[in-house]
Amino acid sequence: MLGELHYRNMKPRIICEEYLDEGNGRLPTDYKVFCFGGRPTWILCYSGRDPNGKGQRSLVDIDWQPSAVLRSPDAQAPPPRLRTLPEILTAAEVLASPFPFVRIDFYSIGKRVVLGELTFTPNGCINVDYDQLEMGGRLLLPPPYPGHGASA
Beta carbons of 93 and 34 less than 8 angstroms apart:
no
Structural domain includes residue 146: no
Structural domain includes residue 100: yes
CATH number at residue 78: 3.30.470
Number of structural domains (the chain) is 1
Structural domain includes residue 5: no
**In Å, how far are 7, 11, 51 from 14, measured between CA atoms?**
15, 10, 19
Structural domain includes residue 15: no
- pLDDT for the residue 34: 93
Instruction: Report how far residue 152's alpha carbon sits from residue 149's, in angstroms, rounded to the nearest whole number.
Output: 9
Higher pLDDT, 80 or 74: 80
Structural domain includes residue 59: yes
Percentage of the chain with pLDDT > 90? 36
pLDDT tens-digit readout, 27-73: 889 999 999 999 999 999 988 877 776 778 888 999 999 887 766 66
Structural domain includes residue 48: yes
Structural domain includes residue 113: yes
Structural domain includes residue 40: yes
Instruction: Report how far residue 129's alpha carbon sits from residue 75's, in angstroms, rounded to the nearest whole number.
Output: 9
Instruction: Report how far residue 105's alpha carbon sits from residue 112's, in angstroms, rounded to the nearest whole number.
Output: 14
Instruction: Report how far residue 31's alpha carbon sits from residue 117's, in angstroms, rounded to the nearest whole number.
Output: 11
Range(s) of the domain holding residue 122: 22-136
- pLDDT for the residue 152: 46
- Strands, E assignment, 29-150: 30-36, 39-47, 56-61, 101-109, 112-119
Left (φ > 0), alpha (ψ -120 to 50) or beta: where does 133 sit? alpha
pLDDT-derived band at 121 (thresholds 50, 70, 90) equals confident
